[in-house]
Amino acid sequence: MTDDRPLYGYADVASIGALLADATRARVLLSLADGRALPASVLAAEAGVAASTASEHLARLVDGGLLSVERSGRHRYYRLADARVGAAIEAVAALAPTRPVRSLRESTRAAALRRARSCYDHLAGRLGVAVTEALLDRGALIRTDGLSGIERADGDRLSAPVHAHPYELGPDAEPIFAALGVDLAATSDQRRPLLRFCVDWSEQRHHLSGALGAALLTRMESAGWVVRHRTRRALQLTDSGARTLDRILGVDLAVRADGRASG
């Protein structure tokens, strides 16, 4: 016999599940998973629905606490409510079955996401993992749990933030990040934690997040080392970015197929 009594005091997981269960809303959330704010018209195009239909779904996501909205002129811009929503989307993506690729265009997009993408406000994919590993190899980071490299440890959840991460700044952190154009002292003064790490959903290894990860991606974009599609999470490493990362970190344009930095 099914017990349908309400579970008072428990997290209402079902309400969030209902919001994620619709394909249109899921596409909207995935489109915003890089932390940017996008207008309703762009999100409607991303989801492949009419503007009126998108508005209904966006309203439900705002009411459910997954999105926030702000008005700029005649337009409303939507973004994920906070970083926890971005982490949840990444975690669900790791559990979800892969949608069949039905065209060369879709295959190219999927490969681009695996190669380099933004994870809320920091770098992910093979490039994000390779940069994190290179920071470790060059003494900008130190691993403190006795393990080597950036492999996930026992107990690390797949595609989720590493809550008790085993890293600290290394002896060469200041000159390495200065060479990359990141002000370590100014970044350390922010309220959010300086160092955080995630288990990358496509690589299943650690990548840098937190205030330092966000500052690094911001610098890479402003310097033109990576560029992004107007509405997609995928990032493309430019020639100047490839040369810079190779020179400072030894990360080749060709992040090796296994995700490890070469050089």
CA distance 256 to 262: 6
CB 90 within 8 A of CB 201: yes
pLDDT digits (tens, 9 = 90+) for 215-226: 999 999 999 999
pLDDT digits (tens, 9 = 90+) for 57-112: 999 999 999 999 988 667 788 889 988 888 888 778 777 666 654 544 544 566 77
Q: Taking the model in full, what pTM does it have?
A: 0.64
Question: Which pLDDT score is estimated for 106?
Answer: 47
Question: How far is the CA of 234 from the CAs of 61, 74, 195, in angstroms?
Answer: 23, 28, 23
CA distance 159 to 89: 9
Supply the DSSP symbol for 234: B
Domains and CATH numbers, the chain: 13-81 (1.10.10.10), 111-249 (no CATH)
Cα distance from N-terminal residue to C-terminal residue, the chain: 62
pLDDT digits (tens, 9 = 90+) for 124-146: 989 999 999 999 999 999 999 99
The Cβ-side half-sphere exposure at 108, using a 13 Å CA radius, reads 4
Count the neighbouring beta carbons within 10 Å of the beta carbon of residue 158.
Answer: 13
- Which of helix, strand or coil describes residue 39? strand
